[in-house]
Amino acid sequence: MTDARAPERVLIVGASLAGLRAAEALRKRGYAGTITLVGDEPHKPYDRPPLSKQVLSREWDAEKVFFRRQEGYESLGLTLMLGQRARSLDVGARTVTLEDPQAPVLEYDALLIATGARPRKLRGTAGLSGVFTLRTLDDALAIGAALAQHPRVAVIGAGFIGLEVAASCRKLGLQVTVVEALPAPLVAILGDAVGAAIARMHLDHGVTLRTGVTVSRIEGQGRVERVVLSDGSSFEADLAVVGIGVTPATAWLESSGVALADGVVCDHTCATNVPGVYALGDVARFHNTLFDEPMRVEHWSNAVEHAQLVAATLVGAPAPAAQPPYFWSDQHDVKLQFVGRVAAGDHAEVAQGTLEQRSYVVAYGRQGRLRGVLASNAPKQLIRGRKLLAERASFDAALSALREAQAVGPVVAPL
């Protein structure tokens, strides 16, 4: 049952995974007050991970990514306001004003900020046709339509989105060149050895990699024709997908008094410095008590966990335990799964398998403690790694436990 102190009016700004799951969690916990869900896109909430994979490769049509059919929203008892972008927040009056001057000013007792993030643009490409970012369903549909013309594809940035786009394009038989400023893909997250292994995987699948260089400019008469790199070289392309990171969508909060620092600053319960205001999902810089540090996590599972946490807080229920960040990425014939929180300089050691065979487990440690586990085509070991992290296992104990698990291949030396 809902706690008597629960807010009467919950306003969720952001019709995202985090926003929808928060509404669902509130209803499941017996919350009977009003819930208004505001989204800046015209679409109802949908699943983003398939956009760079199944939607882009045309395995799925658009309808398959939506979380609920219409009747599902009726059972939640939501007021849905789609195609509406938030303009400002007045924390004193507890109101949110929308950009549409015809829209009503929205009042709340509890405000949940789930506005996510916006992709960074590549400078100098404004007005040039064929340059895309991939964040929304409309982005994926536009890129998919362009890919049907069999273009030569440039992918700018070898992060997870860029690599998934490259893999999807190769699945369609397209020529793909990936440009990455670092020496290898994902080295800032997973380390040099794993980054080199991921590079080899993409090369083996026909992707051209240009690493250690940046894009100086994209040239063309009104549309993409070639990409010029910082080393003076260039290559021909008909389409460019830019994946150089995202920026938290917080511009509408800048004069509100809500603390901002690469996201909305909040505590371990997702509560901000303003009473009654919470942040969840990609936009939230929250304090993770398991690692005892602030972090902003741009992954699916984090949005779901935040939704459960905020819902529990609002109805006065016990808060779920802090979880280690988790993400997965499907690239070619490999499923990469990672759990934990690592940084440059962390010790990395292969616990099972070999990087060459693409079925392996890597443990990451710092100051004697396990900090992360990477599993490539080894989902059972990933589950074990998550348990070890939740138990705050030492690195040596975790490495031993991972090596004793059902093997995926021979144990090899430290990275």
pLDDT for residue 411 is more than 50: no
Q: Determine how many CB atoms are found less than 10 A away from the CB of residue 365.
A: 21
| Mean pLDDT in residue range 149-178 | 97
pLDDT per residue over 277-323, tens digit each? 999 999 999 999 999 999 999 999 999 999 999 999 999 999 888 88
377: three-class secondary structure by DSSP: coil
Q: Supply the DSSP symbol for 291.
A: T
pLDDT per residue over 253-263, tens digit each? 999 999 999 99
Task: Look at residue 407 in the predicted model and tell me its pLDDT.
Answer: 59
Domains 9-118+247-315 and 121-244 share a fold: yes
CA distance 121 to 71: 37
Q: Determine how many CB atoms are found less than 10 A away from the CB of residue 70.
A: 8
Instruction: Kindly give the residue spans of alpha helices, DSSP state H, lying in 223-365.
Output: 300-315
Query: 240's torsion region: left (phi>0), alpha (psi -120 to 50) or beta?
Result: beta
Domain range 9-118+247-315, its CATH number among 3.40.50.970, 3.10.20.520, 3.30.70.890, 3.50.50.60: 3.50.50.60
CB 414 within 8 A of CB 355: no
CB 353 within 8 A of CB 410: yes
Task: Look at residue 322 in the predicted model and tell me its pLDDT.
Answer: 87
pLDDT cut 70: percent of the chain above it: 96
pLDDT per residue over 196-254, tens digit each? 999 999 999 999 999 999 999 999 999 999 999 999 999 999 999 999 999 999 999 99
CA distance 110 to 99: 21
CA-based nearest residue to 84, from 39, 44, 136: 39
CA-based nearest residue to 162, from 41, 334, 329: 329
Give the H or E element holding residue 204: helix 192-204
Q: Determine how many CB atoms are found less than 10 A away from the CB of residue 159.
A: 21
Least confident of 69-78, 179-188, 247-256, 357-366: 69-78
| Mean pLDDT in residue range 357-378 | 95
Which residues make Cβ contacts (< 8 Å) with residue 389, sequence separation at least 6? 290, 324, 339, 340, 370, 371, 372, 373, 398
pLDDT band at 414 (very low <50, low <70, confident <90, very high): very low
User: What are the tokens at 158?
Assistant: 């070898």
Positive or negative, the Cα torsion across 53, 379, 46, 113? Answer: negative
Which residues make Cβ contacts (< 8 Å) with residue 317, sequence separation at least 6? 3, 29, 311
Tell me the pLDDT of the chain averaged across its residues: 94
pLDDT for residue 374 is more than 60: yes
- Report the top-level CATH class of 121-244: alpha beta
CA distance 285 to 181: 26
What does the buried/exposed string (b/e) look like for 103-136 if buried means 16 or more CB atoms within 10 Å of the residue's CB?
Answer: beebebebbbbbbbbbbeebeebeebebbbbbbb
pLDDT band at 410 (very low <50, low <70, confident <90, very high): very low
pLDDT for residue 71 is more than 80: no
pLDDT band at 2 (very low <50, low <70, confident <90, very high): very low
Q: Supply the DSSP symbol for 247.
A: E
| Mean pLDDT in residue range 82-89 | 98
DSSP-assigned beta bridge partners for residue 372: 340, 364
Q: Where are the domains of the chain?
A: 9-118+247-315, 121-244, 333-404
Task: Look at residue 169 in the predicted model and tell me its pLDDT.
Answer: 98
Which architecture characterizes domain 333-404 according to CATH?
2-Layer Sandwich (3.30)
CB 10 within 8 A of CB 26: yes
pLDDT band at 69 (very low <50, low <70, confident <90, very high): confident
